Structure 1
Amino acid sequence: MMKKLTVLFFFISSFFYSQHTEEELKNVLFDIEFSTAGSKEIEKIDSLIKVCKKNSYNDCVALGYLKIANIYNRNSDMKRSFYYTDKVEKENLINSDTDFEVIFYLHLQRSLLYQKLGERMTSLKQLDEIYDKVNETDNAYFIYLINWQYAGIYNEINKKELALKHYKTAYKYSKIYRENKNNLYRIDKNRLSNSYKTSPYLGGMYLELNKPDSARIYIEEAIQNGKKINEIGMQYITSYYASRYFKSLNKIPEAQHHLWICKNIADNYYKSENYQKSVAMELKNLYESTGQKDSIAYYANWLLDIESSNSRQKQTLNDAVDKQNELENSNRKKETKKLFFILSLSIAACLLFIFLFLYYYRKHKSKNLDKIDIPHQPSVDESAFKELIQLAKENNPEFLTRFNEYYPHFSEELLKVFPLKISEIRFCAYIYLNFSTKEIAEYTFTSVRTVQTKKYNLRKKLNIPGDMDIYVWFSRLLK
């Protein structure tokens, strides 16, 4: 019965969503709850992906896969998270038309996964590949997210000042995103709550740098924001750093209160080792400072269970990654051999063609040695032509006048095709004299790009076929 209801729900939702544009379906994806997401949310995303596939909304399909990957990542199911991240490329969803937002989230998700595996240099490389492009977009949401991720990695490798720099940048741009001047950004619950998390993270960073006065500003701000934003992720992060702040002030009851909030959230929503281990470690340290032995033993055992479970999971995942790498290396070697074989055949074919061409060319040339070539007699002497070329190189105002004397019918034939301006006829004369783009740019004191643009405009005006060289077209003008 349940299976039939699920199928019925899928058909109803498919019909409903099929009436939407890709942008509308993306917004539906972003609106799906993240912090408390589980199997129901994944099923909903799957149904959206199927609709997007039917409509060939590739960007929407990719974003759906990445959101599922992020949910699995949050729940420490790394294998499935990698699986959905890899599907984006395996299904060829990345191409020259792909929206940068998809590429951004793909790199960000991979960075998060490699960070969890402890491969921090690989994690940083994922961010480095898109960092310049992110800044070029001038998108406050993208800029704060990538700096936030950079800060987390640098903090882990003990580059505290660098981490602080990126947290401050993330904090600055998260505020710009929330202000949303001129309605540049889409504001939804998930993104909004995410943007508020920069305050407690920045406060936590100041705590690690032993700057409690600076930390207090951002921790208090985070607590006030937490009262406005009723969201699990925001509550967890705020309570976690608030507990550390109060512990630094030796306010044990307040620190304990916030840590119990974190533990409750971690137990019910965040199965990730990072979240659970952090809470267990803080609680253990807190009770060590108060000398409560039973509590210390309890959280010490909890830590061992977390580490043991994570170790098994990491081993399984690393084995899967190693197998995948072996398969990719094997396929790469096969492709290399195949390409080498094709390249060798191509080179052999080219050499054979060149040999045959030279053979028949010499044979043809030997048959025509008895022919007498009658040289073309120019209308004026060679010295006049050299003078014309010199005037062109100097960009002399007399150039076009002397050119028309040398080629009296050129302008007349050109104007039959299209009523060009004097400056355009002068430009055409340079082309007729077979000057290259670079030479024309040099002699007329313009850029190569300008000359290319003028050539393109002339093609349109003179209706020169796209498959014909412009120099060939002009060479035939007086014939």
Structure 2
Amino acid sequence: MITKFLSCLFFFSLFFYSFSQRPTEQSLKNIIFDIGFSTAGSNEIKKIDRIISICHRENYKDCEVFGYLKIANIYNKNNDIKKAFYYTDLVEKKKLITSDTDFEAVFYFHTIRSLLHQKLGERIKALKLLDEVAVRAKGKPYFEYLLEWQYAGIYNEMNEKDKALEAYKKAYLESKKYRENYHSESEKSKNKLANSYKPTAYLSGMYLEMGKMDSARIYIEEALRNGKKIDEKGIQYITSIYAAKYYFKANDLIKAQHHLWICKSIAVHYYKSENYQKAVIGDLINLYEKMGEKDSADYYSRQLLTVQSINDAQNKVQRDLLDEKQAAEERGKTEEKNKLIYLCVALLLSMAFIVLYFFYFKKRKSINVVPTEIVPVRNNDLFEQVTTLAKENSPEFLTRFNDYCPGFSEKLVKAADLKNSEIAFCAFLYLNFSTKDIAAYTYTSVRTVQTKKYRLRKKLNIPNETDTYIWFRDLMK
């Protein structure tokens, strides 16, 4: 009831303000920036929509861009990647970004789109989007730290640890520069300030991954001190997740458990994204296994399978939508190309007809042209044979698959000691069959397939944050 009252009060005050005096674009941008991101949900999206309508009425295009991108980022946080892409697409559809657009709006558009593509495992597209704004970001600490921070995340996913560490170091230093100049800046935002503390925790995590415990301790202690100064859920979550990782490696399991419980509470109450929950659950499994609490470890293992299944399904929907969009663009280009080809063919045929017609009357001879058409007969290719054998659960499937994808089995055997049945299961995943499809083809339950996937992830050391299907695809690159 109180929330509804406050929301109505906000809309009324915004409505009154917008008609009592003409709001400046900067004042509206500040309102958007200061809407809490970490705890944002449907109520905050309604507020931003209202501000967007005012921006549209006043022809504040930059402010419209910020509004749409803030909504996109909130949906991304809440794991509704389809809606996140929808709102970034609106910016393009409405042609809000032009040569006169403020760089900050352009920067956010590129970084948020990059983040969404990174989430889908499309790292080349993600890097390209960042590269497009990198030159203009030089010499501006706020933009540089955000850019380097995002570069670092992509490099880390690509297992380029040295590059990731350097990028996190730059992000850390540039964020400190930004805070030093914060009080002298004309445009201030509490959310921007809070966000600038996050690279400290990420840098500690990078040192931790590289086994540099002393460096990790220095930055995690700094991050924990910063967390006490800034009352913001995003800071608390990311600081606690890396603090838990540090204490786990330092064998202080009680402190590790304490910080993981903080993370779990924040993830459940504020973050609907499965990625946040996966990170915590994966660490809780490792913690309870090390503490010898098998029941707790098994409980979180089952929870992880459920979360992973939901995440895979949602990402697959968005990948399909992006593929469909790309296919539509390709079809458009193909249609234009075909039109040009048809026009050229029509002109050539017209010229040939004129020449033949003239030659016929000149020589008074009849020329019968019998067109013949050679239609090549295509047999089912090897891929179709392999998928057919898979659907029939044929014992010949693995043999034919090895013909289709040479070296697949050998690479898996090098990675782990796998049985033929496990290799065949990996082949199903490489062919991008869904959990439901595999269960149907192998006459097993969906739960059994999910369990097999989880065991294979453990055997092959596939990181928790890596999509299984993408891992198998990258294996053969």
CA contact (8 A) 1:17 1:48 kept: no
CA contact (8 A) 1:246 1:252 kept: yes
Residue correspondence of structure 1 range 15-414 to structure 2 within 5 A = 15-17=16-18, 19-135=22-138, 138-180=139-181, 183-184=184-185, 186-334=187-335
How many Å separate the matches in 1 of 2:7 and 2:246?
Answer: 47
Q: CA 1:203–1:8 in structure 2 vs 1: closer, same or farther (change >3 Å)?
A: closer
How many Å separate the matches in 1 of 2:248 and 2:8?
Answer: 52
How many Å separate the matches in 2 of 1:281 and 1:31?
Answer: 32
How many Å separate the matches in 1 of 2:57 and 2:9?
Answer: 18
How many Å separate the matches in 2 of 1:147 and 1:238?
Answer: 19
Code of the residue aligned with 1:328 in structure 2: it is E
How many Å separate the matches in 1 of 2:31 and 2:5?
Answer: 24
How many Å separate the matches in 2 of 1:181 and 1:291?
Answer: 48
1:288-336 Cα shifts (integer Å, max 9, x gaps): 1111111110110111011100111112111221222222223334455
1:195-214 Cα shifts (integer Å, max 9, x gaps): 01111110110011110001
**What is the deviation of 1:276?**
0.8
Q: CA 1:220–1:342 in structure 2 vs 1: closer, same or farther (change >3 Å)?
A: farther
How many Å separate the matches in 1 of 2:248 and 2:98?
Answer: 50
CA contact (8 A) 2:81 2:318 kept: yes
**What is the deviation of 1:118?**
0.8
Structure ranking higher on relative contact order (CA contacts 8 Å, 6+ apart): 2
**What is the deviation of 1:170?**
0.3
Code of the residue aligned with 1:176 in structure 2: it is K
CA contact (8 A) 2:28 2:51 kept: yes
How many Å separate the matches in 1 of 2:340 and 2:31?
Answer: 44
**What is the deviation of 1:13?**
2.4
- Say which one has the larger Rg: 1
Q: TM-score, normalised by structure 1?
A: 0.67
Q: CA 1:93–1:307 in structure 2 vs 1: closer, same or farther (change >3 Å)?
A: same
How many Å separate the matches in 2 of 1:191 and 1:27?
Answer: 10
* Partner SS, residue 40 of structure 2: coil
**What is the deviation of 1:3?**
11
* Partner SS, residue 204 of structure 1: helix
How many Å separate the matches in 1 of 2:341 and 2:90?
Answer: 29
CA contact (8 A) 2:7 2:43 kept: no
1:12-35 Cα shifts (integer Å, max 9, x gaps): 523413521111111111111110
Code of the residue aligned with 1:285 in structure 2: it is N
CA RMSD of aligned residues (A): 2.5
Structure 2 residues without counterparts, runs of 5 or longer: 345-477
- Which has the higher mean CA deviation after the structures are superposed, 173-182 or 10-19? 10-19
Aligned residues: 341
* Partner SS, residue 96 of structure 2: coil
**What is the deviation of 1:273?**
2.1
CA contact (8 A) 2:146 2:171 kept: yes
**What is the deviation of 1:99?**
0.7
Q: Percent identity?
A: 56
How many Å separate the matches in 2 of 1:331 and 1:184?
Answer: 47
Q: CA 1:128–1:14 in structure 2 vs 1: closer, same or farther (change >3 Å)?
A: same
**What is the deviation of 1:10?**
4.8
